[in-house]
């Protein structure tokens, strides 16, 4: 009996240290698991943050007109801080190795700083480098369309109003494909699109919202060393317009662009044609601009014209002339000063004339006569316009 008790004590004595060691090991394992989980969580958070890219741009401008013609939105001799001022932020999230989601929000001074969505799309990159996008996208009408409101990206205070203001639309909802074909020392980029677009009431010269369906077209850009050539064609139909004579009209846009950028100087030019059924004006527009950097200062000059081609389709009684008849020539001279990285200060003086009795698409020349409510006619108040602008463009 005594021998059995002794054996039991010996067995217990040997077993207790083993059990205690196992318990301590389990605790250490639990602690390690907890630390691994914390590290994994930290890595996931970092990866989630790293997938975000955020940048933005802003323009702070002040301008003043010598008169009330309304060129570029400046319609009196008071300082105007809102017309060309804006603030934008753009974020891109990498969903996976093939897909991104992009959102660009813009707040413009002339819209009382209301926040609007300019871009909202998802993109997918194919194995051959082509990229498909779907959502709300920039309408690629012009050479500067991709960065139309990023003033820091070009030397001028503003793109030619005669060319870039003929279309009140800058974005559309739909799909597009981007693909670049590389050659020995040149490349060709093509951008077909398909979708629909709308003109907001505040952007319409008639103060009414318009909608356009069956939007389709193609932009092609050929780059060879210092030369860039661009051509574009787009077509659409106005199908829900609140203005009777604008409803159910086919609209065609043709654009041609040229740029020679030798770093020492840049020559840039565009010619556009808009053709619309019936009374709405068919318009030709053109500009040529030359800039030449001298140190941190880049002076520039720009010559622009716009003219409606079908004034005979809008003949009015009693010698009146439709406000849709447009003819205008503008001369701009200015300079860009890159005084610090990421910021440029610009000065611009623009003078317009050669209206030839048309409205020149200036609000100071447009009115309504008694007995003809809702029919805009030329009131012939101004035969020239002059606007001064100082603008700060930044990127961040």
Q: Which domain holds residue 328?
A: 60-395
pLDDT at 23: 67
In angstroms, how far is CA 225 from the centroid of its own chain?
Answer: 26
Question: Between these two residues, 168 and 383, which has the higher pLDDT value?
Answer: 383
Residues of the chain above pLDDT 90, percent = 63
Is residue 28 a part of any domain in this protein?
no
- Are 296 and 338 spatial neighbours (Cβ–Cβ below 8 Å)? yes
Span 255-271, mean pLDDT?
Answer: 94
**CA distance linking residue 19 with residue 161, whole number of Å:** 85
Is residue 313 a part of any domain in this protein?
yes
pLDDT at 370: 67
pLDDT at 199 over 50: yes
E strands, 69-112, are 86-94, 99-108
Is residue 66 a part of any domain in this protein?
yes
- Are 260 and 153 spatial neighbours (Cβ–Cβ below 8 Å)? no
CATH number at residue 353: 2.40.160.10
- Are 336 and 384 spatial neighbours (Cβ–Cβ below 8 Å)? no
pLDDT in tens, 371-385: 666 678 888 789 999
Is residue 311 a part of any domain in this protein?
yes
pLDDT at 347 over 90: yes
Span 208-230, mean pLDDT?
Answer: 91
Span 186-214, mean pLDDT?
Answer: 82
**CA distance linking residue 282 with residue 305, whole number of Å:** 14
- Specify the number of domains making up the chain: 1
pLDDT in tens, 285-296: 999 999 999 999
**CA distance linking residue 151 with residue 348, whole number of Å:** 13
Residues of the chain above pLDDT 70, percent = 86
**CA distance linking residue 67 with residue 196, whole number of Å:** 38
pLDDT at 3 over 50: no
pLDDT in tens, 14-34: 555 555 556 676 777 777 777
Is residue 277 a part of any domain in this protein?
yes
Is residue 26 a part of any domain in this protein?
no
Span 178-206, mean pLDDT?
Answer: 87
Span 37-48, mean pLDDT?
Answer: 66
Give 174-211 as a 3 state SS string.
EEEEEEEEECCCEEEEEEEEEEEEEECHHHCCCCCCEE
pLDDT at 367: 85
Is residue 380 a part of any domain in this protein?
yes
**CA distance linking residue 148 with residue 182, whole number of Å:** 26
Is residue 286 a part of any domain in this protein?
yes
Q: Structure pTM?
A: 0.83
Measured between alpha carbons, how far apart are the two ends of the chain, in Å?
A: 89
């Amino acid at each position: 009996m005594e021998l059995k008790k002794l054996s039991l004590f010996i067995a217990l004595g040997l077993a207790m240290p083993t059990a205690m060691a196992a318990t301590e090991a389990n605790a250490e394992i639990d602690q390690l698991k907890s630390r691994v989980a914390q590290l994994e969580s930290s890595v996931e958070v970092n990866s989630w943050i790293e997938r975000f890219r955020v940048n933005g741009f802003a323009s702070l401008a002040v301008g003043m007109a010598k008169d009330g013609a309304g060129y570029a939105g400046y319609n009196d001799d008071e300082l105007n801080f809102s017309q060309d001022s804006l603030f934008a932020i753009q974020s891109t999230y990498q969903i996976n190795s093939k897909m991104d989601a992009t959102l660009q929000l813009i707040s413009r001074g002339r819209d009382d700083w209301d926040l609007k969505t300019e871009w909202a799309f998802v993109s997918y990159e194919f194995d051959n480098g082509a990229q498909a996008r779907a959502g709300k996208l920039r309408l690629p009408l012009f050479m500067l369309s991709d960065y139309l409101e990023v003033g820091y990206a070009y030397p001028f205070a503003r793109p030619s109003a005669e060319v870039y203001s003929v279309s009140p639309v800058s974005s559309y909802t739909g799909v597009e494909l981007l693909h670049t074909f590389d050659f020995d020392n040149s490349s060709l980029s093509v951008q077909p699109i398909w979708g629909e677009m709308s003109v907001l009431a505040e952007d319409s010269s008639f103060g009414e919202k318009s909608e356009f369906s069956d939007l389709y077209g193609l932009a092609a850009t050929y780059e060879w060393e210092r030369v860039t050539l661009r051509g574009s064609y787009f077509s659409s139909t106005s199908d829900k317009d609140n203005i009777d004579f604008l409803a159910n009209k086919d609209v065609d846009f043709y654009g041609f662009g040229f740029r020679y950028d030798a770093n020492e100087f840049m020559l840039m030019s565009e010619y556009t044609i808009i053709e619309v059924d019936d009374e709405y004006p068919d318009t030709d527009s053109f500009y040529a601009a030359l800039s030449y950097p001298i140190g941190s200062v880049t002076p520039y000059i720009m010559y622009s014209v716009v003219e409606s081609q079908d004034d005979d389709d809008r003949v009015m009684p009693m010698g009146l002339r439709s406000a849709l008849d447009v003819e205008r020539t503008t001369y701009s001279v200015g300079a860009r000063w890159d005084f610090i990285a990421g910021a440029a200060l610009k000065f611009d003086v623009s003078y317009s004339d050669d209206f030839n009795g048309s409205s020149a698409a200036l609000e100071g020349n447009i009115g309504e006569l008694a007995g003809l409510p809702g029919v805009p006619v030329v009131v012939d108040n101004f035969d020239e316009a002059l606007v001064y602008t100082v603008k700060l463009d930044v990127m961040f």
